[in-house]
Amino acid sequence: MDERSTVRASRVDVLVGILVLGSLWGAAEVVLGSAMAAGGVPCRAGILTGAGIGLMGVALAAFRRPLVLLGVAVVAVLCKQLVVPILHVSVLCEANSSLAVLLDGVALGAVALLVGRRMQGRLPVRVGAGASSALLAACAFYFAGLRVAPCNYLNSFARPGGAMAFMVEQGLVWAAFAAVLLPAGYWVGTRAARSIPVLKARKPTAYGIASAAVVVCCWAASALTIAAGA
């Protein structure tokens, strides 16, 4: 396979990867987030942040293009925004949580650009990249979230020293989960980058059907969860 055909194939794979990983992230935010909220699971925001950064780690390892991460985050936000047509509410209903998702994508993309190839083959670098991107996203979310559509919880930190308190109570938790799940996602993405092209070449129909099925199932599960008011 020549270099040009590799580039063409990679563009298709990138688009499919963005849709699949973004849909998985969106479904995690909606379905898993709702289940954890109903069950009173602690560290919910940290778990979801880590899951999102882990999924972006898959994309980062598979495609080695930090800008792809923003596409994954945008798809996840669109999945979350199903709440608008289904429940007929304002986009501000999920404004802050959608903002957090976008900031995760921007933060990890920025860190990945700075780190560059050092992330490949170096576990400590990936651990540090996950933690630092989560801390960066948390800091940006604190200041931006208070101005977009702050919830009562976030408003409770709108006081002198509130930023530091938020970073200790939430930022460090986000960083802990991201430090674990980014390397895990990167490991999965590295192996996917080797196996998926083989599957696509041997069974292109199965590859297409499986990818479409994941996207459809994620969006359907998210829609049903939203409609149920979970």
In sequence order, the 6+-apart residues with CB closer than 8 A to the CB of 66 are 60, 108, 109, 110, 112, 113
The per-residue pLDDT for range 45-75, each reduced to its tens digit, is 999 999 999 999 999 999 989 999 999 999 9
Name the token pair of 166.
């938020």
Q: How confident is the model at residue 8 (pLDDT cuts 50, 70, 90)?
A: very low
Helix, strand, coil shares of the chain as percentages rounded to 5? 85, 0, 15
Angle between the N-to-C axes of helices 68-80 and 44-63, in degrees from 0 to 180, rounded to the nearest 10: 140
How far apart are the C-alpha atoms of 46 and 3, rounded to whole Å?
Answer: 41
Give the mean model confidence (pLDDT) for residues 155-182.
94
User: Which has the closest alpha carbon to 57: 43, 41, 73, 46?
Assistant: 73
Distance CA 13, CA 38 (A): 36
Give per-residue pLDDT as tens, 69-128.
Answer: 999 999 999 999 999 999 999 888 888 999 999 999 999 999 999 998 888 878 999 999
What's the pTM? 0.91
> Can you tell me the distance from the alpha carbon of 144 to that of 125, in angstroms, rounded to the nearest whole number?
28
CA distance 199 to 167: 43
Render pLDDT for 18-45 as a digit per residue (tens, 0 to 9). 999 999 999 999 999 999 999 999 999 9
The 3-state DSSP class for residue 116 equals helix
